[in-house]
Amino acid sequence: MKIYLISDNIDTQIGMRLAGIEGVVVHQREEFVRALSEAVENKEIGIILITVKLSGLAPELISEIKLKYKKPLIVEIPDRHGMGKSEDFITRYVKEAIGLKL
């Protein structure tokens, strides 16, 4: 089972390649959708890493894949610029998910 990276910058791809993880760099929504679809169809890929910036291009597609398929696991990772989310995003996520304020 392989891990595959879909990134929006070459720095993240190079870092992952040094760890033995292959991937692709895309910048446009259409490129991202195509790369994600091809990765999902590849039965050798068990985990798809997607940079946070790219995941914002097609959140509905990512949600659909997570609900529809057991495999591959999709993981959003920060790039060299960080998560791009506010510091309290986990607290907001919990509140939205279960209605509990921490």
What are 21-31's pLDDT values in tens digits? Answer: 999 999 999 99
Q: What's the predicted TM-score (pTM) here?
A: 0.78
pLDDT category of residue 85 using cuts at 50, 70 and 90: low
Sequence-separated (6 or more) residues with CB below 8 Å from residue 86: 92
Q: Among 31, 80, 69, which Cα is nearest to 47's?
A: 69
The pLDDT of residue 89: 56
Domains of the chain: 2-98 (3.40.50.10580)
Residue 93: the pLDDT is 62
